[in-house]
Amino acid sequence: MPSRLVIVVTLFLLGVLHALIGWLLLPDLTAAPILQSLLAWWLPLSFLLIPAGLLASVVKSQSWSDRLAWAGMLAMGVFSSLLLLTLLRQIYLLLVPLFGTNVAQVSGWTALAVPLLAGLVSVIGFVNARRLARVVHVDVPIANLPLALHGFRIVQICDIHVGPTIKRPYLQAIVERVNSLDADLIAVTGDLVDGSVSQLAPHTAPLANLAARHGAYFVTGNHEYYSNAHDWIAEVRRLGLTVLMNEHVVLEHQGASLLVAGVTDYTAHHFDEAHRSDPHAALAGGPSQVGVKLLLAHQPRSAAAAADAGFDLQLSGHTHGGQFFPWNFFVPLQQPYIAGLNKLRNLWVYTSRGTGYWGPPKRLWAPSEITCLRLLPA
């Protein structure tokens, strides 16, 4: 649990930002009294719902915990858009006098536009987040690829975040879509859950139905470590997936070999030193001559070590592609790649935008995806 000081500071800042929105918008909404009244009620309610949603896990009743989480996450999504649009409006009001326009002429309709646009983008973002992830097809050119591996298909899913707002039906639909792709290999690259095995085992059960010629493989993400990674590793194994923890397997496919390695999350050592992520260790003892060396690593920032180790392709997630504006601008502060296929020396790195979502059920300009990667000769 967060410390009391962190909670107090967070609540203070949250209160200040809600008050700022009200101070900047409410006086200019006199021409729309109904909207003015709704916003005046919504702001204090939002201030209460957001922390309630974040702390919902302490509620013993699972049904009430989930309801609080839903309410808090929805409020967080709306608040994020309200705050951003309010700040953009203030910048606009500061600039319009430079172009000979009276601020009073635009203050009313711009104040009206902010909550209406915030509501609209929140609805669009909700629909984008809750619908079944689209299938994204990606061709990866591999140098000296054996003929037997031409067209080898890997289906990747990640960042599903089964938890308070994502339950069994959501995951079941993903599994059915994945199985329809007739993959040679399935990769689940971390952040599967947000919650304990005892809470979520019934909702992650559909993973047992994943089917591919060479099976399904799993690596831990940072959120597994927030939710007792040791229990989840055992549970995922029970469901029939192969968990790769700084280790590898060698697959034979039509006479050619493929090395599939996996590392624990980049930050795993903060929770268990024995889980320190190590691409070199994942490759240790493997054959020197294989058709392809594939690494599953939750975070893209494993790429430098993966390139040093000699992997050909790394599959990652973690970033959600930013999930919704403007968070996509903050991802590069931590990760080398936001989304898509990138090259680092001799290593291809594919970063998925994620198959679910985290926090607010909201996606804008960062659609969720089920990725079908096909290996082709370079």
pLDDT tens digits, 327-376: 888 899 999 999 999 999 999 999 999 999 999 999 999 999 999 999 99
CB atoms within 10 A of CB 349: 24
CA 235 to chain CA mean position, Å:
21
To 10 degrees, the CA torsion angle through 316, 318, 321, 323? 150
pLDDT tens digits, 153-201: 999 999 999 999 999 999 999 999 999 999 999 999 999 999 999 999 9
The pLDDT-based confidence of 2 (bands split at 50, 70, 90) is: low
Given a cut of 70, whether residue 1 has pLDDT beyond it is: no
For domain 134-377, the CATH class is alpha beta
Using CA atoms, how far apart are residues 58 and 60, in angstroms rounded to an integer? 6
- The domain limits of the chain are 4-129, 134-377
Mean of pLDDT over the chain: 96
The per-residue pLDDT for 328 is 83
pLDDT (average), residues 210-216: 98
Side-chain half-sphere CA neighbours of 120 within 13 A: 7
